[in-house]
Amino acid sequence: DARVTQTPRHKVTEMGQEVTMRCQPILGHNTVFWYRQTMMQGLELLAYFRNRAPLDDSGMPKDRFSAEMPDATLATLKIQPSEPRDSAVYFCASGWIIAGVPSEQFFGPGTRLTVL
């Protein structure tokens, strides 16, 4: 049963520390997404990759956040330095797009980040 995996599931850190979240998309999917979910803002798109190339990271604070896909089996989201307002649940999702038609997205279980 293929699924998106995310590590760590929970992370508590202090303000100013670097945080790295990892995601393994489903094998064969060619799109990967990073979302952030908070009570106040709801679900926000941070970054979108297609065939490992970043297509849209307009929702990501560029000064402290970075997203990469070093290979097809790994996507990373880094925050440096972290701030208390970054506390949220971060979801990774993967899917595919063929001839411009997107599939449904498959979401990972999320990383719950708390920045003290």
Binding interface with another protein (CB under 8 A): 4, 33, 42-43, 45, 48, 55-56, 91, 93, 100-102, 104-110
Min CB(16)–another protein separation in Å: 28
Nearer to another protein, 70 or 100 (CB): 100
CB of 70 to another protein, least distance (A): 21
Phi then psi dihedrals of residue 86, to 5 deg: -80, -5
Find the shortest distance in angstroms from Cβ 14 to another protein.
Answer: 24
Nearer to another protein, 81 or 96 (CB): 96
φ, ψ for residue 94 (rounded to 5)? -135, 160
Residue closer to another protein by CB (options 48, 65) is 48
Give the whole-angstrom CA distance, residue 59 versus residue 45: 6
Q: Among 15, 102, 18, which residue's Cα sits nearest to residue 55?
A: 102
Q: What is the C-alpha R_g of the chain?
A: 14
